[in-house]
Amino acid sequence: MSLMNTYGERAITLTKGDGAYVWDDQGRRYLDGLSGIAVCGLGHCHHAVSQAINEQANALVHVSNLYLVKPQVELAQRLVDVAGMDCVFFSNSGAEANEAAIKIARKYGNDKGISAPHIITAHSSFHGRTMATLTATGNDKIKAGFTPLIDGFSHVPFDDIAAIKAAATANTVAVMMEPIQGEGGVHVPHDNYLTSLRALCDENNWLLILDEIQTGNGRTGSYFAYQQRGILPDVVTTAKGLANGMPLGACLARGIAATVLQPGHHGSTFGGNPVACAAACATVNTILTEDLCHKAGELGRYFIARFRDALSNNPHVVDIRGQGLMLGIELDTPCADIVTKAMQQQLLLNVTAGNTIRLLPPLILNKAQADDIITLVVQLIHDFYA
Ligand SMILES: *Cc1c(COP(=O)(O)O)cnc(C)c1O
């Protein structure tokens, strides 16, 4: 195998996808409870997205950011309107969208005369795998072996406003948080956390940076998770579900944060590529016209109610939590093996933080498919401890 060994052994080779299903090279069909890790919200090979990709691929594939391209301009306007932000920088990935956010925070600090700006992030957060986003990430395991890390970050417990106050210094310029932690184990903060965080940032002139790379694009019941809390961040990043599988990230900014980066401060060769942007325009339009945010919220409540019914008297189930179609079932033992067992039952899911089964099914999932996932997961947990 000539692939670098960064992902370990892969059990199956997938060759085809349609809606909530994928097929392997043996012709076996799997129900996709993960959608490429919250990427294919519209399911696999959605006709509107595939058509947009085809049309754009036949018109113009790449010209660089030295020129305007229509799908990028159209997508920018669409996203800014949906998000309530002022402008957007396009990247190719989530980590790069966060790099742009971190550069905005640092430049914002430097412009105020702070030469060593400090950014506060959370324990068990995940912000990416580049050096700066790895440093921002609150997980020592994935940082081990990659010193020297980047200066200017400190970590506090998630969902704890007092801890942020205690960690702040005269150099603090920004707080960077996921509205709901994904890789860290699907942690949903208290209802008032984001509003309190917004107020705290306002009092101190810190930028509030929300990492909605996983929670964005309809996943949690609104286009962005912060929209359920009635606040606006200064910077929001997204990526995963933005273009339904084409590589694209976005860093949106508002107010003073929108004016910080000027010509020459940042750039990307591929970021905002016309084909990726055309796919994203089709994705955003479909999410909005088919009311998929609302549907994800409803279906998420259904999942949680049914899991609680079926699992609450299982002593190994510690917690069932989530919002929209971002769901976690925390068990009291490591359960990575459930991924393989689920695959044998033709269901794709994931285990994160060692002991939390994570489901991120496509937003287009129907009730019957939801029932299939629920039945399989309940049985898998039962068998796991039998
Ligand atoms: C996946 C993810 C990232 C990193 O995105 P990449 O596209 O893999 O670089 C960053 N933040 C959060 C919250 C994520 O879920």
Which sequence spans correspond to the domains of the chain?
14-46+291-384, 48-289
- At 64, which helix (H) or strand (E)? none
Q: Whose CA is nearest to atom 5 of ligand 1?
A: 94
Ligand 1 atom closest to the Cα of residue 37 is: 1
Ligand 1 atom closest to the Cα of residue 249 is: 7
> How much distance in Å is there from the Cα of 210 to the middle of ligand 1?
12
> How much distance in Å is there from the Cα of 327 to the middle of ligand 1?
17
User: Does 307 sit in the ligand 1 pocket, CB within 6 Å?
Assistant: no
Taking the alpha carbons of 332, 333, 334, 340 in that order, is the dihedral positive or negative? negative
Residue 1: predicted pLDDT: 80
User: Does 358 sit in the ligand 1 pocket, CB within 6 Å?
Assistant: no
What is the spatial order of strands in the sheet that 350-352 belongs to? 317-323, 326-331, 356-359, 350-352
> How much distance in Å is there from the Cα of 183 to the middle of ligand 1?
9
Ligand 1 atom closest to the Cα of residue 93 is: 7
User: Does 352 sit in the ligand 1 pocket, CB within 6 Å?
Assistant: no
What CATH number matches the domain at 14-46+291-384, 3.90.1150.10, 3.40.50.300, 1.10.8.60, 3.30.470.20? 3.90.1150.10
Return the half-sphere exposure (C-beta side, CA atoms, 13 A cut-off) of residue 292.
26
**Could you read off the pLDDT tens digit of each residue along the chain, which spans 386 residues?**
899 999 988 999 999 999 999 999 999 999 999 999 999 999 999 999 999 999 999 999 999 999 999 999 999 999 999 999 999 999 999 999 999 999 999 999 999 999 999 999 999 999 999 999 999 999 999 999 999 999 999 999 999 999 999 999 999 999 999 999 999 999 999 999 999 999 999 999 999 999 999 999 999 999 999 999 999 999 999 999 999 999 999 999 999 999 999 999 999 999 999 999 999 999 999 999 999 999 999 999 999 999 999 999 999 999 999 999 999 999 999 999 999 999 999 999 999 999 999 999 999 999 999 999 999 999 999 999 99
Ligand 1 atom closest to the Cα of residue 129 is: 9
User: Does 117 sit in the ligand 1 pocket, CB within 6 Å?
Assistant: no
Q: How many residues does the chain have?
A: 386
Return the ∠ at Cα 135 (arms to 185 and 187), rounded to 5°. 15
User: Does 212 sit in the ligand 1 pocket, CB within 6 Å?
Assistant: no
> How much distance in Å is there from the Cα of 365 to the middle of ligand 1?
23
The partner residues of 118 in beta bridges, in order of sequence, read 172
Q: Where are the beta strands (DSSP E) in 149-306?
A: 153-156, 172-177, 207-211, 235-238, 249-253
User: Does 243 sit in the ligand 1 pocket, CB within 6 Å?
Assistant: no
Whether the pTM exceeds 0.85: the reply is yes
Ligand 1 atom closest to the Cα of residue 181 is: 13
Ligand 1 atom closest to the Cα of residue 133 is: 10
User: Does 127 sit in the ligand 1 pocket, CB within 6 Å?
Assistant: yes
> How much distance in Å is there from the Cα of 77 to the middle of ligand 1?
23
Taking the alpha carbons of 85, 90, 95, 96 in that order, is the dihedral positive or negative? negative
Ligand 1 atom closest to the Cα of residue 247 is: 7
Return the ∠ at Cα 119 (arms to 166 and 196), rounded to 5°. 55
Could you please report the per-residue DSSP string of 149-164?
Answer: --SSEEEE-TT-HHHH
User: Does 93 sit in the ligand 1 pocket, CB within 6 Å?
Assistant: yes
Residue 227: predicted pLDDT: 98
**What CATH code is assigned to 48-289?**
3.40.640.10
